[in-house]
Amino acid sequence: MSPHELSLFFVLLSINVYTFEGSIVVDLNLALANKQESVSSPGHSAVNSPVFKPVVDSLQSLNLLSSFPEDPAISEYCSELLHVFGQRYVTYVNCLVPAARPVKVCQNCYSSYGSLVAIYTNISSDQMSPGNVSCKRSLLRSDRLMLVYQMYSDLEDLWEKSDCSHCITDAYRSLTNDTMFFMTTLNQTLTCFEKYKQGNHTELCKSCKGTYKGLNDLYSRMEKEQTLCIDIEDAMNMTRILWSKGFNCSFPREETVPVIAVSSFMLFLPIIFYLSSFLHSEQKKRKLIHPKRAKSYATLMNIQDKQS
């Protein structure tokens, strides 16, 4: 089977993900049809079974395509995998979108990401399927588009960027203890904010300073240990903005006078220094030397002429 045909086949396969239960009815061109007969198999016919889906009606173009005659057992296994992959993918994406703001992508969706990773590992493993064909080859790298791979790597990038791995235990089982602790501390702080929100903010600044500071220190410690993930960073950012801008609890600039005093003293020193060295230091003089010059009067004349 030529590479071109193969790739076409896998395009079809991936389309099949969405139309798995039934299949698409397609016309095969002659050459392919011949081939199909020669390698027909029960599984294959199942894929090709003429069950219509309403979607397909609207996509007339799909009628041009058909599935290829292929080793059905293998593709069945692989398409099973593909199906599961699709489901988990949808679950994960569905989880991600609502967690976008405020960012909770790590704490909410780590389990669904875990299962997505599991199925992808399954697909991409070099382990042979029952039919002795690797799904890795057939699903991941048979065509230019490499859809499965591309979709997965997009999400993987997202995961990398969010640094979620820092907050999740190894096998995507749970959040790390640090993260839990941070969340608890954060909740304490936010409760405190809630409590004093009414009324005067100075009260709030004073009362919640302890917990806020604790939270801040915890954050800095985690920053140093590099156990931050986007959830924590975002939560901290929001809290900080609330604290500094919402409640105006930043440090005020109140020592202007001593700073000005000290700096003007410092700036005054060089003036004294230069004045005193100007007045007291002995000015450096240079002794002029008179070089021997030709005793002809031509020199003198030249110079004299220039002078006059």
Partner 1 sequence: MKLFTRAFWSVELAEVAMANITKKVSWSSRTDESGVASEGTPLLNGAEQPRHSRQLSGGGSIFQIGRLSTVDLEEEITTEEDSLRGRLKEIPHNEKLLSLKYESLDYDNIENQLFLEEERRMSFMSFRCLEISRWVICGLIGFLTGLIACFIDIVVEQLAGIKYQVIKENIVKFTEVGGLSISLILWAVLNSSFVMVGAIMVAFFEPIAAGSGIPQIKCYLNGVKIPRVVRLKTLLVKVCGVICSVVGGLAVGKEGPMIHSGAVVAAGVSQGRSTSLKRDFKIFEYFRRDTEKRDFVSAGAAAGVSAAFGAPVGGVLFSLEEGASFWNQMLTWRIFFASMISTFTLNFFLSIYHNKPGDLSNPGLINFGRFESESMEYNLYEIPLFIAMGAVGGLLGALFNVLNYWLTIFRIRYVHRPCLQVMEAMLVAAVTATVAFTMIYFSDDCQPLGPDHTEEYPLQLFCADGEYNSMATAFFNTPERSVRSLFHNQPGTYNPLTLGVFTLTYFFLACWTYGLSVSAGVFIPSLLIGAAWGRLCGILLASITSTGSTWADPGKYALIGAAAQLGGIVRMTLSLTVIMVEATGNVTYGLPIMLVLMTAKIVGDYFQEGLYDIHIKLQSVPFLHWDAPATSHWLTAREVMSSPVTCLNRIEKVGTIVDTLSNTSTNHNGFPVVVRVSDNDEPAKLCGLILRSQLIVLLKHKVFVELAQSRLTQRKLQLKDFRDAYPRFPPIQSIHVSQDERECMMDLTEFMNTTPYTVPQETSLPRVFKLFRALGLRHLVVVEDNRVVGLVTRKDLARYHQGRHGLEELQLAQT
Interface with partner 1 (CB under 8 A): 216, 236-237, 240-241, 243-245, 250-255, 258-263, 266-267, 269-270, 273-274, 277-278, 281, 283-308
| Burial of 144 (C-beta count, 10 Å sphere; 0-12/13-18/19+) | exposed
Indicate the residue among 61 and 308 with the shorter CB distance to partner 1. Answer: 308
Instruction: Count CA atoms closer than 13 A to 88's CA, side-chain side.
Output: 23
Contact residues for 76 (Cβ-Cβ < 8 A; gap 6+): 43
Contact residues for 247 (Cβ-Cβ < 8 A; gap 6+): 193, 201, 204, 205
Q: How far is the CB of 255 from partner 1 (least distance, A)?
A: 5
Indicate the residue among 61 and 281 with the shorter CB distance to partner 1. Answer: 281
Q: How far is the CB of 234 from partner 1 (least distance, A)?
A: 11
- Considering only CA atoms, give the Rg of the chain: 39
Q: How far is the CB of 157 from partner 1 (least distance, A)?
A: 15
Q: How far is the CB of 261 from partner 1 (least distance, A)?
A: 7
Q: What is the DSSP letter of 222?
A: H
Contact residues for 67 (Cβ-Cβ < 8 A; gap 6+): 9, 12, 13, 16, 23, 24, 26, 44, 47, 48
Indicate the residue among 31 and 266 with the shorter CB distance to partner 1. Answer: 266
Indicate the residue among 125 and 250 with the shorter CB distance to partner 1. Answer: 250
Residue 250 and residue 79: Cα distance in Å, rounded? 58
How many CB atoms neighbour CB 197 within 10 A? 13
Q: How far is the CB of 306 from partner 1 (least distance, A)?
A: 4
Q: Looking up tokens 């936010």, which residue turns up? A: 190
Contact residues for 105 (Cβ-Cβ < 8 A; gap 6+): 96, 99, 158, 162, 164, 230, 231
Indicate the residue among 4 and 285 with the shorter CB distance to partner 1. Answer: 285
How many CB atoms neighbour CB 156 within 10 A? 15
Indicate the residue among 169 and 302 with the shorter CB distance to partner 1. Answer: 302
Report residue 261 as tokens: 């005093």
Q: How far is the CB of 218 from partner 1 (least distance, A)?
A: 14
Indicate the residue among 27 and 255 with the shorter CB distance to partner 1. Answer: 255
Q: How far is the CB of 247 from partner 1 (least distance, A)?
A: 11
